Structure 1
Amino acid sequence: MKKIIVWFRKDLRVHDNPVLWEAAQQGIIIPVFIWSEEEEEGENTTSAAGKWWLHHSLIALKKKLESMGLSLVFRRGNSLKELSLLCKQTKADAVFFGERYEPSIIRRDSTITKNLLFNGMEVRSFSSNLLFTPSDLLNQKNEPYKVFTAFWKRTMRESVNRPLPIPVDIVRCDQVLPSLRVEELGLLSANRWEEKFHTHWEPGEKGAITSWEQFTDEGLSRYVEGRDIPSANSVSLLSPHLAWGDISVRAIWHSAKGMNEVESEEYMHSSINAFLRQLIWREFAYHQLIHFPTMLHAPLREKFKAFPWQGSDKEYAKWQKGLTGYPLVDAGMRELWETGTIHNRVRMVVASFLVKHLLISWVDGSYWFKETLVDFDAASNAIGWQWVAGSGIDAAPYFRIFNPILQSQKFDPDGLYIRKWVPELAEIPSKYIHEPWKAPINLLHESGIVLGKTYPYPIIDHSLARIRALEAYAQVKNKS
Structure 2
Amino acid sequence: MTTVVLFRDDLRVEDHPALHEAASHGEPVVCLYVLDEESEGVRPLGGAAKWWLHHSLTSLAADLSDLGVPLTLRRGPAGDVVPDVVRETGAERLLWNRRYGGPERAVDAGLKEWAGDNGVAAHSYAGSIMFEPWTVTTQNGDPYRVFTPFWRACTSGPPPREPYPAPSSVLPADPAPASDALADWGLLPTHPDWSGGLARTWTVGERAAHERLDEFLDERLPRYAEDRDLPAKPATSRLSPHLRWGEISPYTVWHTALHRAENPGKFLTELGWREFSTYNLYIHPDMATRNINPKFDAFPWPPLDEDVLAAWHKGRTGIPLVDAGMHELWETGTMQNRVRMVTASLLSKNLLIDWRLGEQWFWDTLVDADPGSNPHNWQWVAGCGTDAAPYFRIFNAETQQKKFDPDFEYVDRWNGRQEGVEPIVDLKESRAHALELFMSL
TM-score interval (norm. to shorter): over 0.9
Question: What is the CA deviation profile of residues 152-182 of structure 1, one whole-angstrom value per residue up to 9, with x for unaligned ones?
Answer: 2112212101100111253222313211121
In structure 2, the partner of 1:266 is: none
- Structure 1 segments unaligned to the other structure (5+ residues): 264-268, 426-448
In structure 2, the partner of 1:171 is: 171
In structure 2, the partner of 1:464 is: 429
Matched, 1:402 2:383: no
Cα distance between partner residues in 1 of 2:72 and 2:435: 55
Matched, 1:375 2:376: no
Q: Alpha carbons of 1:3 and 1:39: their partners in 2 closer, same or farther (altered >3 Å)?
A: closer
In structure 2, the partner of 1:92 is: 91
Map 1:286-325; keep pairs closer than 5 Å: 286-310=278-302, 311-325=304-318
Map 1:13-28; keep pairs closer than 5 Å: 13-26=12-25, 27-28=27-28
For the 8 Å contact 2:220–2:235, the answer to whether it is kept is yes
In structure 2, the partner of 1:209 is: 210
Map 1:52-451; keep pairs closer than 5 Å: 52-158=51-157, 159-191=159-191, 192-260=193-261, 263=262, 269=263, 272-310=264-302, 311-422=304-415, 449=419, 451=420
Secondary structure of residue in 2 paired with 1:237: coil
In structure 2, the partner of 1:435 is: none
Cα distance between partner residues in 2 of 1:142 and 1:423: 48
Please state how far the C-alpha of 1:406 moved relative to its aligned partner.
Answer: 0.6
The one-letter code of the counterpart of 2:89 is: T
For the 8 Å contact 1:75–1:185, the answer to whether it is kept is no
The one-letter code of the counterpart of 1:275 is: F
Cα distance between partner residues in 2 of 1:120 and 1:323: 59
For the 8 Å contact 2:320–2:411, the answer to whether it is kept is yes
For the 8 Å contact 2:230–2:405, the answer to whether it is kept is yes
Q: Alpha carbons of 1:303 and 1:253: their partners in 2 closer, same or farther (altered >3 Å)?
A: same
Question: What is the CA deviation profile of residues 69-105 of structure 1, one whole-angstrom value per residue up to 9, with x for unaligned ones?
Answer: 1111111122122212211221111111111111111
Higher helix share: 1
Segment of structure 1 superposing worse, 28-37 or 10-19: 28-37
The one-letter code of the counterpart of 1:302 is: P
Question: What is the CA deviation profile of residues 9-58 of structure 1, one whole-angstrom value per residue up to 9, with x for unaligned ones?
Answer: 01000000001001112332111111122144642x51110010000000
TM-score scaled by length of structure 1: 0.89
Q: Alpha carbons of 1:350 and 1:424: their partners in 2 closer, same or farther (altered >3 Å)?
A: closer
Please state how far the C-alpha of 1:362 moved relative to its aligned partner.
Answer: 0.8
Instruction: Answer with 1 or 2: which has the greater Rg.
Output: 1
For the 8 Å contact 1:40–1:105, the answer to whether it is kept is no
The one-letter code of the counterpart of 2:85 is: L
Cα distance between partner residues in 1 of 2:89 and 2:180: 17
Q: Alpha carbons of 1:405 and 1:111: their partners in 2 closer, same or farther (altered >3 Å)?
A: same
Cα distance between partner residues in 1 of 2:150 and 2:36: 34
The one-letter code of the counterpart of 2:259 is: G
For the 8 Å contact 1:341–1:375, the answer to whether it is kept is yes
Please state how far the C-alpha of 1:424 moved relative to its aligned partner.
Answer: 5.6
Secondary structure of residue in 2 paired with 1:123: strand
Cα distance between partner residues in 1 of 2:416 and 2:357: 27
TM-score scaled by length of structure 2: 0.96
The one-letter code of the counterpart of 2:77 is: N
For the 8 Å contact 2:223–2:235, the answer to whether it is kept is yes
Secondary structure of residue in 2 paired with 1:172: coil
Question: Which portions of structure 1, spanning 4 or more consecutive aligned residues, are displaced by more than 4 angstroms?
Answer: none
For the 8 Å contact 1:336–1:372, the answer to whether it is kept is yes
Cα distance between partner residues in 2 of 1:359 and 1:176: 54
Question: What is the CA deviation profile of residues 385-427 of structure 1, one whole-angstrom value per residue up to 9, with x for unaligned ones?
Answer: 11101111111011011110010011111111111111765xx
Cα distance between partner residues in 1 of 2:78 and 2:283: 25
Cα distance between partner residues in 1 of 2:169 and 2:235: 39
For the 8 Å contact 1:223–1:234, the answer to whether it is kept is yes
For the 8 Å contact 2:67–2:167, the answer to whether it is kept is no
In structure 1, the partner of 2:33 is: 33
Cα distance between partner residues in 2 of 1:42 and 1:50: 15
Segment of structure 1 superposing worse, 56-65 or 193-202: 193-202
In structure 2, the partner of 1:441 is: none
For the 8 Å contact 2:350–2:431, the answer to whether it is kept is yes
- Structure 2 segments unaligned to the other structure (5+ residues): none
Q: Alpha carbons of 1:195 and 1:122: their partners in 2 closer, same or farther (altered >3 Å)?
A: farther
Secondary structure of residue in 1 paired with 2:372: helix
The one-letter code of the counterpart of 2:209 is: A
Cα distance between partner residues in 2 of 1:210 and 1:326: 36
In structure 1, the partner of 2:438 is: 473
In structure 1, the partner of 2:6 is: 7
Cα distance between partner residues in 1 of 2:79 and 2:285: 23
In structure 2, the partner of 1:47 is: 46
Secondary structure of residue in 1 paired with 2:2: strand
The one-letter code of the counterpart of 2:404 is: F
Secondary structure of residue in 2 paired with 1:293: coil
Cα distance between partner residues in 2 of 1:103 and 1:80: 15
**Percent identity for Structure 1 against Structure 2:** 41
Cα distance between partner residues in 1 of 2:40 and 2:195: 24
Secondary structure of residue in 1 paired with 2:286: helix
Cα distance between partner residues in 2 of 1:464 and 1:406: 15
The one-letter code of the counterpart of 1:402 is: F
Q: Alpha carbons of 1:284 and 1:215: their partners in 2 closer, same or farther (altered >3 Å)?
A: same
The one-letter code of the counterpart of 1:470 is: L
Secondary structure of residue in 1 paired with 2:95: strand
